[in-house]
Amino acid sequence: MKFKRPKLTPLLIAFSVLALVAGFHAWHLDFPERLEWMTYDLRVRAAHHFPAPAATNLAFVAIEEASLKTVQSGKLGYRFGLLWPRQVYGHLVDELAAQGAGAIGFDVLFGELRPDHPPVQLANGTFQESDVFFATHLRRAGNVILARTPEVIPPALFATNALALGDISTDPDTDGTLRRVKAFRDLRRWHPLIEMAATHFDLDLSAAKIVPGKIILPQTGTTNCVEVPVDAKNNFTLADFGVGKLLPGEAPTARAFTTGRVWHMGILLAARELKLDLAKATVDLPGGKIILPGANGIQRVIPVDADGYFFVDWRLTPDDPRLLRVPVEDLLWQDRQRLLGETNGLRDDLRGKLVVVGSAVQGNDLTDHGATPLERDTLLVSKHWNIASSVITGQFIRPTTFGEDLAIIFLLGLLTAFLTWQLRAFAAAGGTILLVTSYTAITFIVFIKFRLWLPLVVPVGGAILVEHICLVTYRVVYEEREKRHVKAIFSKMLSPDVVNELLGAEKLALGGAHCEVSVFFADVRGFTTLTDQMQEQVAAFIRERKVVGAAAEKCYEESARETLETVNLYLAAVAEAVKNSGGTLDKYIGDCVMAFWNAPAPNEKHALASVQAAIHAQRAILDLNRQRLAQNAAREFENQARVAAGLMPLPLHVALQLGTGINTGAVTVGLMGSEVHGFNYTVFGRAVNLASRLEGVSGSGRIIVSDATYQHLLRLDPQLAAGCTELAPVTPKGFRDAVRIYEVPWK
DSSP result, 417-437: HHHHHHS-HHHHHHHHHHHHH
Distances (CA, A) of 363 to 162, 327, 368, 619: 30, 18, 10, 98
Q: What is the mean pLDDT of residues 84-96?
A: 96
- Residue 27 is which amino acid? W
Domain boundaries, the chain: 8-31+398-487, 53-191+259-275+311-393, 196-255, 512-743
Amino acid 505: pLDDT: 46
The whole-angstrom separation of Cα 364 and Cα 239 is: 45
Query: Residues near 46 by Cβ (< 8 Å), separated by ≥ 6?
Result: 444, 447, 448
Beta bridge partners of 525: 657
pLDDT tens digits for range 555-591 = 899 889 999 999 999 999 999 999 999 998 889 898 9
Amino acid 624: pLDDT: 96
Amino acid 506: pLDDT: 47
Q: What is the mean pLDDT of residues 457-466?
A: 92
**Nearest CA to 726 among 745, 742, 705?**
742
pLDDT tens digits for range 50-73 = 999 999 999 999 999 999 999 999
Query: Do you know the residue count of the chain?
Result: 747
pTM recorded for the entire structure: 0.68
CB burial of residue 104 (10 Å; 0-12, 13-18, 19+):
buried
Say if residue 646's pLDDT is above 90. no
**Nearest CA to 77 among 308, 275, 334, 351?**
334
pLDDT bracket for residue 680 (50, 70, 90)? confident
The dihedral formed by the CA atoms of 491, 495, 496 and 499, expressed in degrees to the nearest 10:
-60
Amino acid 366: pLDDT: 66
pLDDT tens digits for range 201-253 = 899 888 899 999 999 999 998 999 999 999 999 999 988 887 776 767 678 89
Longest alpha-carbon distance in the chain: 159
pLDDT bracket for residue 1 (50, 70, 90)? very low
Amino acid 364: pLDDT: 61
C-beta separation of 378 from 45 below 8 A? no
The whole-angstrom separation of Cα 454 and Cα 3 is: 31
pLDDT bracket for residue 2 (50, 70, 90)? very low
C-beta separation of 724 from 713 below 8 A? yes
Query: Residues near 566 by Cβ (< 8 Å), separated by ≥ 6?
Result: 527, 530, 653, 656
pLDDT tens digits for range 7-39 = 677 788 888 888 888 887 888 788 889 999 999
Amino acid 482: pLDDT: 64
Beta bridge partners of 253: 237
Say if residue 263's pLDDT is above 90. yes
**Nearest CA to 583 among 493, 714, 485?**
493
**Nearest CA to 351 among 141, 105, 101, 142?**
101
Amino acid 6: pLDDT: 52
Mean pLDDT of the chain, nearest integer: 90
Q: Return the sign of the alpha-carbon dihedral for residues 334, 340, 344, 348.
A: positive
Q: What is the mean pLDDT of residues 640-665?
A: 92
**Nearest CA to 356 among 332, 400, 387?**
387
Lowest mean pLDDT among 287-296, 553-562, 657-666: 553-562
Note the CATH number of domain 512-743.
3.30.70.1230
Helices (H), 504-631: 527-545, 549-580, 606-630
Query: Residues near 666 by Cβ (< 8 Å), separated by ≥ 6?
Result: 514, 515, 516, 685, 687
Distances (CA, A) of 530 to 144, 591, 618, 623, 702: 120, 12, 19, 19, 20
DSSP letter at 7?
Answer: P
